[in-house]
Amino acid sequence: MLDQEKTFEPLIVAFCCNWCSYAGADLAGTSRLSYPPNVKIIKVPCSCRVDPIFMLRAFGKGADGVIVCGCHPGDCHYSTGNYFTRRRFALLFSLLDFMGIEKERMRLEWVSAAESAKFARVMNEFTEEVTKLGPNRRLMDIRNLPEGYEELGRGPHREVLDAQAPHARNIPSVVKIEEQMKARATKLLADGVVDRVLAWKAGDHETMPEPAFFDHPSQIENMVYNKYCAHNLSKYLMVAPWLGGKLFDGSTLIFLKPCDSYSFNQLIKENLINLEKTHIIGIGCGGTVQVEDLEEVGMWEKCGVCTKIHHPVGDEIIELENNSPRLDKNARFATVEAIEALSADDRFAFWQSQLSKCIRCNACRNTCPVCNCKRCVFSNNKYDMASKVNATEFEEQLFHIVRAFHVAGRCSDCGECSRVCPQDIPLHLLNRKIIKDINEFYGEYQAGQDIAAPEPLTSFDLNNDGQAGKN
């Protein structure tokens, strides 16, 4: 064993900014300051050019440590690039740590062109630290079913899962605004204010309403609104014909539950909604329920911890009679905190056990209002990322990390990803972890609240990001 440890030579990839750290590495060479040959440098124009995917890919392909080096804050050749880097990697490292992946394998360091000694020292330290950790496996295995696993549903994991299970104790409030909604829809259609209505239509079974468009007042009788209408309608109104088909020219009335309205507002912020042709009616919500075999099995976790009772956007509002917040606003973080409290090994085991169930059906992605790319990076050829599969040794392992990260700062915590997961993976916990981190590191932020507010990952604070960003 000891012998093995001695012979283990980690592979370390260093992304160095051209203007500072790469020059710092050059100066280390000129000054003959040695550091281990394990470190291989890739030059980038700016540390902000380093996509988290590069780091994950390096891990996925066998790197044991990855380090990103940039100019000191305030010294960026491009003024502000490293401030984005700082936030991006602070959140990424924290997310990976949350998944039980050794955060010691990844680093962000500021090295100036003059700091050759610092460059050599950092590389020596980092190599030593990674050597101690041994070969990188976790990022490669996060979605593989562990051989001879223990039943991970017991112990602390059980508690986490129980918190996610349908909340039988929470009873949805009775919603009696369906008739009001129908009346408004009929009126607006009849008056020609809108050309169609987006709402829910009755299914063949009470528990099976589906999102639907209504073009004519006579169809409104099929409209329903009840505790089974969990679906977030936001994405159906995206300007670009998202799934092909013709662009709709007319105007649309959309009904939005409070949580949906945050998603919708985020889409407005991202310029993906033609607001001029949209009439929005915010509607109250008493919570929605999970259905299995056409039977109600309890309230969705997302509704159990919901605090969104207001609509940040809307032309009209149809409120419930008794609208009151259900929980204090941080209650939703309880499960995230429970996972944070586990050991790194347990966190990894938890996520491995969950993510190994994934069948890559893409329901989480396709339902997510902010997963609104025309072609997902996992479906196009931009990063050479294989799609459609769940196989070993592939970047596929990274799907859920990249998915959560790509919506960081944009996710309004609508919880749809977990609601639609056929394998009941609590995916939204990854997003919620990022939200929690953003709140703690950079101040409270609710996506979809205010379309003028700068987003956490595309803005920075000169003064306050430092401490939080440090890993």
Partner 1 sequence: MEKIGFFVCHCGSNIKATVDPNVVLDGVRSIPGIVVAEQYPYMCAKTGQNMIADAIKTNGLTGIVIAACSPRMHEATFRKVAEAAGLNPYMVEIANIREHVSWIHKNKEEGSQKAVALAKAAIAKVKLNAPLFPEENSVIKRALVIGGGIAGIQAALDIAEAGYEVDLVESSPSIGGKMAQLDKTFPTLDCSACILTPKMVDAASHDKINIMTYSEVEKVEGFVGNFTVTVRKKARSVCMEKCTGCGDCWNKCPVKNIPLEFDLGLQNRKAIYIPFAQALPLVPVIDREHCIMMKSGKCGLCQTVCQPGAIEFDQEDELVTQKYGAVVTATGFETINLDKFGEYAYNDSKDVITSFEFERITHGAGPTGGELKRLSDGRKPKSVTFIQCVGSRDISGRGKPYCSKICCMYTAKHAVLIKDKYPDVNVNVFYIDMRTPGKAYDEFYRRGVEEYGVKYIKGQVGKVVDKGNCLTISAVDLLDNVKMELETDMVILATAIQPVPSAKPLASMLSASIDTNNFMTEAHAKLRPVESPTAGVFLAGAGQGPKDIPETVGQAGAAAAKVIGLLSKDVLLSNPCTAMVDINACNGCSLCAPVCPYGAISYGPATVNDHGLKTIERVSHINQALCQGCGACVVVCPSGAMDLQGFSNKQLLAEVDALC
Partner 2 sequence: MNKTYKIALGNLSKLYGRINETQQIYLPVRRGGTLNFEKWHESAVVDLHGLKTTNTPKDLFLPQSEDLYTAKMDGTNIEIITKDFFDNAFVIFGVKACDIEAIAVMDNIYLSKHPVDMYYEARRKNAVLVSLACNAPKNACFCAAFNIDAANPKGDVATWILGEYLYTQAQNGKGKAFVEDIMGLFEPAEADDLLGLKAEIAEKAQSLPYSKLPLESFTGENMMKIFDHENWDFLHRACIGCGTCTYTCPTCSCYDIKDFDKCSGTTRFRCWDSCMYPEFTLMAHGNNRLTQKERFRQRFMHKLMYHPMNYDGQFGCVGCGRCINKCPVSLNIVKIIKSLGVEVAENANA
Binding partner 2 (rule: CB under 8 A), the pick from 360, 377, 383, 461 is 360
| Shortest Cβ 129–partner 2 spacing (Å) | 25
Tell me if 271 contacts partner 1 by CB under 8 A: yes
Task: Give me the 108-137 binding string for partner 1, x by CB under 8 A, dash otherwise.
Answer: ------------x-----------------
Which residues, 6+ apart, have CB-to-CB distance to 26 below 8 Å? none
Instruction: Using alpha carbons, select from 429, 437, 423 the residue that is nearest to residue 403.
Output: 429
Element (H, E) at 428: helix 428-442
Among 231, 347, 403, 406, binds partner 2 (CB under 8 A): 231
In the complex, least distance from residue 161 CB atom to partner 1, rounded to whole angstroms: 30
360 binds, among partner 1, partner 2, none (CB under 5 to 8 A by kind): partner 2
- Residue 168 touching partner 2 (CB under 8 A): no
Residue 341 binding result from partner 2, partner 1, none, given CB thresholds of 5 to 8 Å by partner type: none
The two beta strands, 196-201 and 210-214, are: antiparallel
Structure tokens at 228: 């089974």
Distances (CA, A) of 154 to 159, 161, 423: 8, 10, 18
- The residues pairing with 292 across neighbouring beta strands, listed in sequence order, are 295
Q: What is the DSSP string of 14-30?
A: EEEETTTHHHHHHHHHH
Q: In whole angstroms, give the CA distance from residue 255 to residue 234.
A: 9
CB of 143 to partner 1, least distance (A): 19
Of 8-16, 102-110, 147-155, 305-313, the segment contacting partner 2 by CB under 8 A is: 147-155
Binding residue for partner 1, selected from 380, 386, 389, 393, defined by CB under 8 A: 380
State the Cα–Cα distance between residues 396 and 403, nearest whole angstrom: 11
Of residues 239 and 318, the one with the C-beta less far from partner 1: 239
- Regarding 50 and contact with partner 1 (CB under 8 A), the answer is yes
Interaction of residue 49 with partner 1, rule CB under 8 A:
yes
The Cα 278–Cα 118 span in angstroms is 56
Among 40, 43, 329, 375, binds partner 2 (CB under 8 A): 375
Contact between 383 and 402 (Cβ < 8 Å): no
Query: Residue from 238, 394, 439, 461 that binds partner 2 (CB under 8 A)?
Result: 394
Of the candidates 3, 384, 452, 463, which one interacts with partner 2 according to CB under 8 A?
384
d(CA 227, CA 257): 11
**Looking at 8, 213, 248, 383, which residue binds partner 1 (CB under 8 A)?**
383
Residue 61 found at the interface with partner 1 (CB under 8 A): yes
Closest among 231, 242, 239 to 200, alpha carbons compared: 231
Q: Contact between 62 and partner 1 (CB under 8 A)? A: yes
Contact of residue 227 among partner 2, partner 1, none (CB under 5-8 Å per partner type): none
Sheet hosting strand 39-44, strand order edge to edge = 39-44, 12-17, 65-70, 106-110
Select the binding partner of residue 107 from partner 1, partner 2, none (C-beta < 5 to 8 A, by kind): none
Q: Residue 375 corresponds to which tokens in the numbers above?
A: 């072609």
Q: What minimum distance in Å lies between the beta carbon of 376 and partner 1?
A: 7
Name the β-bridge partners of 106.
66
Query: Which sign does the torsion angle of CA 296, 317, 409, 385 carry?
Result: positive
Residue 388: name its binding partner from partner 1, partner 2, none (Cβ under 5 to 8 Å by kind): partner 2
Beta bridge partners of 109: 69
167 binds partner 2 (CB under 8 A): no
The verdict on 42 binding partner 1 (CB under 8 A) reads: yes
Site for partner 1 in 400-429 (CB under 8 A): 406-407, 410
455 makes contact with partner 1 (CB under 8 A): yes
- Helix H or strand E segment including 159: helix 155-164
Residue positions counted in the chain: 471
Q: Token digits for 348? A: 């990894």
CB of 454 to partner 1, least distance (A): 7
Q: Is 45 in the site for partner 1 (CB under 8 A)?
A: yes
Q: In the window 12-41, what residues touch partner 1 (CB under 8 A)?
A: 13, 22-23, 25-30, 32-35, 37, 40-41
Q: Identify residue 3 by its one-letter amino acid code.
A: D
Distance CA 406, CA 104 (A): 23
Q: Are strands 65-70 and 106-110 parallel, antiparallel or unpaired?
A: parallel
Residues that bind partner 2 in the complex, under the rule CB under 8 A: 61, 145, 148-153, 157, 161, 164-165, 203-205, 208-213, 228, 231, 235-236, 241, 243-245, 291-295, 353-354, 356-357, 359-363, 365-367, 375, 379, 384, 386-391, 393-394, 416, 419-420, 422-425
